[in-house]
Amino acid sequence: MEKFAVAGLRTLCIATARIEPSRWEQLEAEYQRLATITWSCWRHSHRGQAAGGVPATINDLLLAGIRIWVLTGDKLETAINIGYSCRLLQSGMEVRTLTGSGLDDVRSKVAALQSWVGGLEGSSKEPALVVEGEALAWAGRPELRAEFLEVCLQCRTVICCRVSPKQKSDVVRYVREALPTAVTLAIGDGANDVPMIQESHVGVGLKGKEGLQAAAASDYALAQFRFLKKLLFVHGAWSYHRVTIVILFSFYKNLTLYITSFWFAMASGFSGQVMFEKWTQGLYNVFFTGATPFALGIFDRSCSQENCMRYPQLYKENQGSGRYNFKVFALWMLNGVYHSAIIFGCVALALWHGSVFPNGQVSGLYYLGSTVYSLAVVTVALKAGIEHTAWTGLSHLAIWGSVATYFGFVALSANLYPHVGSNFAEVVGFDWALFGSANFWFLVLLAPLLALTRDLAWTAYRRTCAKTLREEVMEMEKLQRDPSSVLLRNTYKRMTETVRLLGRPLFRRKAPVPVSQSFADNIDQMAAGANN
């Protein structure tokens, strides 16, 4: 075996183990019992657990719109059988194979596959391709690679068999070059999968009998393949939602405050005068708004863990860059500039003729700056409240506690002058002047409301008239209702639209429309969940 391994040969070893008759009878009886269950939803769930959850996980990944390619060293027949057993290849697919031993031979077969894939457009059949290792070597050459990838990317499933570790990494690289915006994930359990794992954007290694090489070289290590579902549908979806909102909100809150200095510079003739007290200005991102992005990035989520695992269709909204792209980023930044203009404009109009305090003194520069600063802090906190979707006690503490921290700092700093020297000399007694002013509290109530009117209107429209599937499920969660009906209604709408585009009636009296096995299984699972 060592000599064969050094020569690069794959060796099949057959081993036996003695099992006590009582133990074998127990295992066989349990498996036969599970195999004879008639309800499809229970059969698939229980047998999937007995088989490690691989078929069920692959089926859910397909339902989530994820393209799955299998790169294996097994021979052609074995790879096809494994594809059917793990439900990667299904009865609703038309499977073709690509084999060949020369460039011209493979070129002609790729051209035939192009015609085959084009002929399936508008058909109920989905294309699936099985590629043999030698043919993959010829198809991966520069003069044929583009045509080969064009066929593969139009297939629902691609299986590459009899491939070497180098070929596995090459296939991942081909896809990354052909689709620069796509995100690739490679999962493997052995040392021969390490090049593939390292070539992909996200590498996942399985700890098992094949050793720890794949797990050590990966970004995430899993104990079982079925855990990939939770990694993607729960942690992946939540992390994408949280990272995008943290990035967008962090830039927005800084623009909301510091662009007001630009409006003040225009009003003061670009004199260079600063309207904020230096300590207050420096602590904006540290204390007064520092905890808000953490609340959004730690506690915020889109849907509950149970529904993310139960309905793979929800993952489709996380694919692509719909939540974070140049357009979304630009709109958030323009919104920050807009809020800063509303805040400074309201303060400038209110203090256009000055403000007189009860002791006879009039407002000055730091009164203007502190009012603008206070309105920015309150507006940013309210904006975070609008965007936050999963409130917890710590979320309330982080968001509203930031506002309370700022007002507490104003009161504290105004009374520290006798104890800390001249650092706070310009704000002595300033807390009574600010908090005792009716203009200040009027602006606190008016300016944030004016600034956020557009945000509230857009949020109300989006959550009533333009709800996404995920937002509909979130609404059902708040009402403590089962979202199965929402998923079924959206599935029916997609079926109706697809059939309409194909020019076929949805229902026929003589011959019913064929339904794929994966769709039927998913309907059974959702119906069972609704009954529960």
List the binding residues for Mg(2+): 189, 193
Here the tokens at position 129 are: 């391709």
- Binding-site sequence positions: 10, 72-74, 162, 168, 189, 192-193
Q: How distant, in Å, are the alpha carbons of 72, 128, 137, 162, 283 from that of 106?
A: 20, 17, 10, 16, 66
Q: Return the H-helix or E-strand segment holding 158.
A: strand 157-161
- Binding-site sequence positions for ATP: 10, 72-74, 162, 168, 192-193
In degrees to the nearest 10, what's the CA dihedral of 304, 309, 311, 313?
100
Q: Edge-to-edge strand order for the sheet containing 185-188?
A: 185-188, 202-206, 220-222
How far apart CA 187 and CA 38 sit, in angstroms, is 33
Contacts of 410 (CB under 8 A, 6+ apart): 280, 370, 427, 430, 431, 434, 435
> Quick one: how far is CA 345 from the chain centroid?
38
3-state secondary structure 240-306: HHHHHHHHHHHHHHHHHHHHHHHHHHHHCCCCCCCCCCHHHHHCHHHHHCCHHHHHHHHHCCCCCHH
Termini Cα distance of the chain: 53
Closest CA to 380 of 412, 406, 359: 406
